A and B are shown apart, each in its own frame.
Chain A
Amino acid sequence: MTQRPLRAKQTQFGKLGSKMISGRVISGQRGLVLLLALLASLAVTIIRIDASWAPWTIWVPTLLSTLTAIALMMVAPNRAATNDPGRAWIFITALLIVYVLPWNIIVKSLLTHTGEPLELVMLAMVQQAALVSVTLYPIRKAEWISGLLSFFLFVFCITMSSAQLVYVLAGLYGLLSIWWLMGAYWERIQGGFVAQQSVPVVRLRASILISLVALLLLLGYIGSTRSTTLGSLLGFIPTSGGSGENDESARSGIGDGDRVVAAQETAMSFGPVESELFLEDTSPSLYDMFTDIYGEAPKAKKRSEKAVSLPGSEGPSKHQHLSQSQKSSREFSAVRRAKLEQAKKPEQKLTSAMLYLIGDVPTHLVMETFDAFDGRQWTHQQPIQPTALKLVTIGNKPYVQFSPKGSVPFALKEQVYGVKLINLKSPRIPSPHLLSSVHIDKVDRVDFYGKTRDDVAEMPEREHIPQLTVLHLRTFMPHLHKLRDASEFRRFGSRVKLDGNYVTSEFVRKAQADFDQLHPEGELLSQPLPLPDAVIDGIGSDGQSPQQDVSATNAETAVEKTNEANSFEVHYQIASERELVEKLSDDWTSGVSRGWGEVDAIVSRLKGYCQLDATSNAPEECEDVVQHFLSTKRGPDYLFATTAAMMLRARGFPTRLVTGFYADPKDFEYATGQTVIRKDDLHTWLQVSLDGVHWISVEATPGYLNPIEDLSFIEWAELGFWEFCRWIWFHPIPVALFMAGIAWGVWSRIWIFETCLTLWVAVVASMGTLRSRTLWLIWLLQWRGRLYGKPRPNHKTLRRWLCESSTDTSFVRNFIPQLERLLYAPAQTISHEPDQEFQKNFRLLLWERKLFVNSSKQNT
């Protein structure tokens, strides 16, 4: 009561005056606090954008939430100071603070697949809290909290960032905060002598405080424990890797665990940095790696009747005189011995990087391809057409062109990758599919490059590409979405220029025939189909008109057929139980129009049909691994790829098996924008061709993502929508159950909630003192009132509320004095043994659900 006397003596006028004075100070200070919070918000946003790959996912919601907070401040000033600010107001302010977390999850899982590290998300929440505190202005402490939070944010930002703008902002913040402190000081002096403003206090419930403390203790316990069950939650605590946990989206930190590899800061730097790591030669050959990852292939039994013929000779070629490592008449066995899983100590699990990739992930880096399959083994038989390489200059750098721009009609966009070789020893260039051109600094000679027999770019006449070489790769990004449409598929796949000649592959001819059969008088065929610009350019240079070319297609068909009849044979062979494979592939593609959609359908169905199991190998004597795999429905990635390849062949798509590296988005490091590729990223997938020249990588193993395709937003949404529909279609029972569950939950949400509460109170009320049980009962009654639209206003006494809103008033009237006695009478006067009538009434009230129901219905 000490602060009252001054005020008591004030006259009406004096009081008004003091309010005016303090009011002026308040509005100025409030703007200043807001400015400070906005500055801190800006600094945090800069830091977050700095670490992000999709800045719009940060600045758009930040801007929106900031504007909302300011709007809230203008629309509903002083709202927080009232006793009942309203549910909507509380909801919006709470949402403003916590939205960052769910938003990050949405961004991570749906939009960009690259989220933010948890510490930045939490920082963003602090930033929002600082902003929202300003809207709570009339609570004087909120202003100080806001100031304190923005100070913390700036300290954090300065220590974290080296962006100049952040330092400028910090300087500005310093100046303004001094001004603010001065203002606060003056206000205090004025306030002390002129008017004692009463400060509304936000009541913190003891239950909230206790649960908060309990939560912190729990988190602390989880953070300190190493047990396996709770350890799974360990990543929830923001770490920088020091605890052994790392967030895939985390920036660099202390002791990055398995990511400690030299020269990781920038893969483009050249030179043996911290060279000890590289002096020891642990680099394995591809063959070793396969054995390590997949297990050893059993020695082939000698069978004269199944001898694999050697590839036909194409005259003397310099490629044949080269070092041992690149002679890839090797095979890839789909039958392997089970790998012995040795218990390893954690430090032995540390593997060094094979290579670094800069560029979009997921990416499949091709190392070897195989086209012929005999039921057990993949080999390479069909040699590729030699391509003439050309030196071009892109951005003042000499690039060796493997495939000129526009030569792939369904892939016009180029993508750029950087590859730095660390421990990989191979003359082959690990490159994504549809390679366009390659550049190595200061290498401007075409004869440094070539292609292996199995269609992989290489550096011939070398045992391996020197370590730490940085390769700049340009590849085409396939626009597969158009190929999903049958008519577009026909158009794009129709004709391809190859070595100056136009060829139409057997596969495409088949597709065309199918299409023509389906649409004998279709509009599309009544007029010549336009060719992509790039192809038209090519035609122009050859002195042929596009019109003639198209009309001549049919005439040329016979000639082309003879040229190519054999070229794809090997890519169509199905070395498996043909009927089974054909039946399954027909089943899985029923209802899908001819085109790339078939590839999608088969691959996605296979991913659901079988389970990835690296230890489930085919038995050694197995002659048909595909059949075996389809019957056991378990197997490693190469069985998925093999089976998908066979099934696609059954649908008429030429396919081949590819081994190489999978650049996993999980290994992407945000700080440097690069992906580490280790030995265990070795992977097997398949490639599908449309024209026999260009091969598109297709991922058939569950858990691995397809390479990025060129998609517009609408195409992406369309694809996602159909994928979603398809998923629902193929999971009718769980979806129906889920929907039914949701519907039931929504329909009887009140019932469910009330039942939970009642059960809870029934459990709690079976323990504790009479008083505590009564308190729980009253708590339950209040909840019921809320649920049935008869909430007890805070100021209404229990008796008045129950008498006004319950249906059975006489019962309440009789029972309520007993409740009141327990609540308000001195403890020593209450008997601890309840009489029978009380217990009966207690039970009645506990299980009586209709106390508020009828009255609300009557009212309505």
Chain B
Amino acid sequence: MSQNGKLKSIELLRKCLNSTLLGKEDVVELVIACLLSKGHLLFDDLPGLGKTTLAKALATTVGGRFSRVQCTPDLLPSDITGFNILNQKTREFEFRPGPVFGDVLLADEINRATPRTQSALFEAMAERQVTIDGIAHPLSSTFMVIATQNPVESHGAYPLPEAQLDRFAMKLQIGYPNRGSELEMLQKNIGTGSQGYQAVERVFESGELEKLQEDVASVAVELPVREYLVDLARATREHRSVTLGLSPRGLITWQRVAQAWAFIDQRDYVIPDDVQAVAKPVLEVRFGGSVDNVEKVVHEIIESVAVPTGR
């Protein structure tokens, strides 16, 4: 795919997502960055703001298999990963793949699943494979988990363990749309019948996304910027309000998302602006629930580290 073609497909993706989620261009931009950086996404917001809509739209545009799990306390790990079943005909065990074997997995209200089920996602998210009865089954190379959670109804919910939070690339809030967007949304909704949301078209042909993700991975991050990243990571560990600072895995994720951000901005090198732009969603998911005012803390951390300007 030519450089032009890549830009075109990204632009198309942006357009599709924006038409699905009105007035949330900044969120869409981060979602694209997350997709390009091969990260998993966690939406943390109130019900009805379009989390699921966006996830579905994303799955459609990416063009892969979309699977969805509605998490409830009685959901079992095998409901996600799949299981071996005895074929009565052949008298052999046969593997029935679960929803994780899709390209995009939407885990709705993930905090309603039991920890046991949640942890079943661990391996899938980190290593892109699941092991059942000692046999490792590789997942799709563009496998992406989009999880949503509802912060309000905490009754009967199991907060995600910190170890699992670290496997997400970022956490996003969508927030209420503005007045104009809501008006437009209502107008669009008239006459759509039972479908409820606007259909989007597929953007990527097979293998295209993979190629793009490889390109993102090769965006240059020069030493001053790498040092800046490391300094920021250390600053998160030294900040008084943060119990658990950024892990090395988190740092790698941060760099990857910054690369994606630079790629979206049509650059083949990362600048400190990219690092700062993605700092909040990347750090928020890792600080977990222990930090009250994430925005303020992230701001303080960024303020405490000098941007490298060469001299």
Contacts and interface: CB of A to CB of B under 8 A. Distances in A.
A793 B268 CA distance: 27
B276 interface: yes
A821 B307 contact: no
Contact of B304 (A4, A795, A820, A823): A795
Interface in B139-181: none
A799 B269 CA distance: 15
Interface in A783-821: 792-800, 817, 820-821
B222 A825 contact: yes
Interface string B184-226: 0000000000000000000000000000000000001010110
Given A1-B248, A12-B243, A829-B220, A824 B305 contact: no
Most buried by B among A15, A799, A824: A824
Contact of B220 (A198, A776, A826): A826
B237 A775 contact: no
A794 B307 CA distance: 6
B269 A8 contact: no
Interface in B253-290: 267-273, 276
A798 B272 CA distance: 9
Nearest to B238: A198
A823 B268 contact: no
Given A198-B238, A775-B311, A778-B310, A824 B304 contact: no
Given A778-B310, A824-B225, A83 B269 contact: no
Residue picked from B268, B302, B310, most chain A C-beta under 10 Å: B310
Interface residues of A, number: 30
A775 B222 CA distance: 16
Binding site secondary structure of chain A: helix
B136 interface: no
A775 B304 CA distance: 23
Contact of B244 (A8, A793, A826): A8
Contacts of B243: 12, 15
Contact of A4 (B224, B237, B305, B306): B237
B303 interface: yes
A778 B311 CA distance: 8
A825 B268 contact: yes
Contact of A797 (B222, B248, B273): B273
Contact of A778 (B222, B271, B303, B309): B309
Contact of A829 (B268, B309, B310): B268
A797 B272 contact: yes
A83 B304 contact: yes
Nearest to B220: A826
B180 to A, nearest CB: 26
A821 B269 contact: yes
A799 B271 contact: yes
Contacts of B303: 793-795
A779 interface: yes
B310 A775 contact: yes
A826 B269 contact: yes
A824 B222 contact: yes
A795 B220 contact: no
Contacts of A793: 303
Contact of A820 (B237, B244, B271): B271
Interface of B: 220, 222, 224-225, 237-238, 243-245, 248, 267-273, 276, 302-307, 309-311
Given A4-B237, A798-B309, A820-B271, 18 more contacts: A4-B245, A12-B243, A83-B304, A774-B310, A776-B311, A779-B310, A779-B311, A794-B307, A795-B305, A795-B307, A796-B307, A797-B273, A797-B307, A823-B271, A824-B269, A825-B220, A829-B268, A829-B269
Interface of A: 1, 4, 8, 12, 15, 83, 198, 774-776, 778-779, 782, 792-800, 817, 820-821, 823-826, 829
